[in-house]
């Protein structure tokens, strides 16, 4: 067992509470376990413990073994001078502070089922370690927890927008497109798209976006992929025109392209090939319908989707997935799932901060409510939850479950998770 798990048992009073005794034989009555301290110093502040007939108010330190007190050199540390109880799993020696005050020690005893659940949650061998307990959870517990997770996830996204605003001289449209760049890479090419974005000054983008061809030349040229494609297919008229345009722009604005080696194709479906994605992003950027302004006014999820779906790539990219290669038979455009991802990860967070900036709280609520209108995302994590019996119907569900998986399950933060809490408390209640 880890020390953090023992702290959890103490914090949530999962231990056997009848007839508690210190190792010296004094009765123990835990009035208040104290407040968990995540910084330096004792583990719990302001606990209230009755030892025999005396009520003590002070701090509690938790260790697996008593001897850890010395291993961690607490015996001469003033920060531990107010420890009123040393809580341990095993009392393997007496402990003192400043050499003369002997600390009362309590060996925690807790049901075997709690121990088993804790080690099951801590082990996490690929599948969700709490999987076997999920069917025992009531809807209400899960619903409340999902609401909090969704809020936490949206807060993170909004914070990121605020951080970028500072870097973009409070220009919301630039922030919108900077985030769009990154999210166009989805998971595999996110870093490459970020590098591409970083290589392009916003004033240069603004100058080129009047023409779709010039925007494509700028983005594909800066990606390093245009040069590679043109070298491989010098007879392709479209590539030739784009290459000429790009060399003009590069010289004029003193640009340096990113390395073509940043881009990845491994296991990508043709619809996600980087060149096609860059061409689609160019169409969003060059869109003379003032996309940002229109999106900022759209009220329903259907309106947002329609606005994004109306954006058309150039004729060439409607029939290609890679520059210079044989034209594909079907028309290429971003799929529903991709557009959904862009709305959730780009449009809603940026517009939420934009609404906040304008003091429009009604609009902020509308934007959050859009997540209940949009369908759930379909990705590996959402499917994993589905296999565990937890289905997502709306984007609000899938976003909450993504947050849960990424921030709690993956880093094994089960002890900070409400499901983890339910698993442990249900088990202790059962005994």
How far is the C-alpha of 113 from the C-alpha of 425, rounded, in Å?
10
Helix 380-387 × helix 395-404 angle, to 10°: 90
How far is the C-alpha of 259 from the C-alpha of 239, rounded, in Å?
18
Q: In the complex with ligand SF4, which residue's Cβ is closer, 20 or 130?
A: 130
Among 110, 420, 424, 427, binds ligand SF4 (CB under 6 A): 420
115 burial level (CB within 10 Å; 0-12, 13-18, 19+): middle
Across the strands, what pairs with 375? 394
Q: How far is the CB of 419 from ligand SF4 (least distance, A)?
A: 4
Q: What is the dihedral of CA 408, 409, 412, 415, to 10 degrees?
A: 60
Beta strands in 101-193 (DSSP E): 101-102, 105-107
Compute the chain's Rg from CA coordinates: 29
Among 205, 283, 409, 424, binds ligand SF4 (CB under 6 A): 409
Q: In the complex with ligand SF4, which residue's Cβ is closer, 95 or 128?
A: 128
**# residues contacting ligand SF4 (CB under 6 A):** 13
Among 404, 424, 427, 428, binds ligand SF4 (CB under 6 A): 404
Across the strands, what pairs with 316? none
Answer yes or no whether residue 83 interacts with ligand SF4 by CB under 6 A. no
Among 130, 150, 262, 285, binds ligand SF4 (CB under 6 A): 130
Residues 6+ apart with CB under 8 A from 123: 129
How far is the C-alpha of 165 from the C-alpha of 170, rounded, in Å?
5
Q: In the complex with ligand SF4, which residue's Cβ is closer, 215 or 403?
A: 403
Among 219, 347, 414, 424, binds ligand SF4 (CB under 6 A): 414
Q: CB under 6 A: which stretch of 4-12, 161-169, 318-326, 419-427 binds ligand SF4?
A: 419-427
User: Which H/E stretch holds residue 97?
Assistant: strand 96-97
Q: CB under 6 A: which stretch of 101-109, 123-131, 201-209, 342-350 binds ligand SF4?
A: 123-131
Q: How far is the CB of 308 from ligand SF4 (least distance, A)?
A: 33
Answer yes or no whether residue 417 interacts with ligand SF4 by CB under 6 A. yes
How far is the C-alpha of 231 from the C-alpha of 177, rounded, in Å?
30
Q: CB under 6 A: which stretch of 122-130, 241-249, 263-271, 356-364 binds ligand SF4?
A: 122-130
Q: CB under 6 A: which stretch of 2-10, 17-25, 55-63, 410-418 binds ligand SF4?
A: 410-418
Q: How far is CA 81 from the centre of its chain?
A: 39
Answer yes or no whether residue 121 interacts with ligand SF4 by CB under 6 A. yes
Distances (CA, A) of 186 to 90, 257, 338, 340: 49, 21, 8, 12
Q: How far is the CB of 128 from ligand SF4 (least distance, A)?
A: 5
Q: How far is the CB of 287 from ligand SF4 (least distance, A)?
A: 41
Distances (CA, A) of 303 to 285, 299, 310: 19, 7, 11
Q: How far is the CB of 425 from ligand SF4 (least distance, A)?
A: 12
Among 60, 103, 128, 180, binds ligand SF4 (CB under 6 A): 128
Among 6, 285, 347, 419, binds ligand SF4 (CB under 6 A): 419
Q: In the complex with ligand SF4, which residue's Cβ is closer, 12 or 48?
A: 12
Strand pairing report for 44-51 and 96-97 = unpaired
Q: In the complex with ligand SF4, which residue's Cβ is closer, 156 or 244?
A: 156
Residues 6+ apart with CB under 8 A from 67: 92, 93, 95
Q: CB under 6 A: which stretch of 62-70, 258-266, 342-350, 402-410 binds ligand SF4?
A: 402-410
How far is the C-alpha of 134 from the C-alpha of 142, rounded, in Å?
9
Answer yes or no whether residue 408 interacts with ligand SF4 by CB under 6 A. yes
Judged by the rule CB under 6 A, the positions of this chain that interact with ligand SF4 are 121, 128-130, 404, 408-409, 413-414, 417, 419-420, 423
């Amino acid at each position: 067992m880890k020390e953090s798990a023992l702290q959890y048992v103490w914090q949530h009073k999962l231990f056997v509470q009848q007839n508690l005794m210190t190792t010296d034989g004094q009765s123990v009555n835990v009035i208040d376990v104290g407040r968990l301290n995540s910084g330096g110093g004792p583990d719990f502040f302001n606990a209230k413990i009755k030892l025999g007939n005396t009520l003590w108010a002070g701090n509690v330190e938790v260790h697996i073994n008593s001897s850890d007190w010395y291993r961690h050199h607490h015996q001469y540390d003033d920060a531990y001078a107010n420890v009123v109880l040393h809580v341990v799993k095993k009392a393997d020696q007496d402990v003192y502070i400043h050499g003369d005050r002997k600390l009362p020690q309590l060996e925690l005893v807790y049901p075997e089922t709690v121990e088993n659940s804790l080690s099951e949650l801590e082990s996490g061998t690929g599948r969700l370690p709490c999987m076997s307990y999920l069917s025992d959870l009531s809807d209400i517990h899960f619903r409340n927890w999902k609401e909090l997770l969704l809020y936490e996830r949206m807060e993170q996204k909004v914070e990121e927008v605020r951080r970028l605003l500072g870097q973009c001289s409070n220009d919301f449209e630039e922030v919108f497109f900077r985030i769009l760049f990154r999210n166009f890479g989805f998971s595999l090419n996110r870093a490459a798209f970020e590098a591409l974005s970083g290589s392009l000054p916003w004033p240069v983008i603004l100058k080129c976006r009047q023409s779709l061809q010039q925007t494509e030349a700028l983005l594909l040229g800066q990606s390093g992929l245009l040069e590679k494609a043109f070298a491989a297919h010098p007879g392709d008229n479209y590539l030739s025109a784009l290459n000429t345009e790009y060399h003009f722009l590069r010289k004029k604005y003193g640009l340096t392209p990113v390395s073509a080696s940043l881009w990845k194709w491994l296991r990508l479906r043709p619809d996600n090939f980087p060149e096609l994605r860059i061409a689609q992003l160019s169409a969003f950027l060059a869109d003379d319908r003032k996309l940002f302004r229109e999106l900022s006014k759209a009220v329903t999820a259907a309106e947002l989707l329609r606005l994004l779906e109306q954006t058309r790539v150039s004729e060439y990219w409607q029939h290609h997935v890679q520059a210079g290669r044989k034209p594909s038979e079907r028309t290429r455009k971003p799929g529903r799932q991709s557009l959904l991802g862009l709305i959730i990860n780009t449009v809603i967070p940026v517009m939420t901060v934009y609404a906040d900036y304008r003091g429009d709280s009604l609009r902020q609520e509308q934007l959050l409510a859009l997540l209940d209108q949009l369908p759930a995302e379909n990705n590996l994590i959402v499917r994993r939850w589905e296999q565990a019996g937890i289905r997502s119907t709306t984007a609000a569900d899938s976003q909450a479950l993504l947050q849960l998986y990424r921030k709690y399950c993956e880093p094994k933060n089960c002890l900070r998770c409400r499901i983890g809490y339910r698993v442990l408390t249900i088990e202790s209640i059962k005994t």
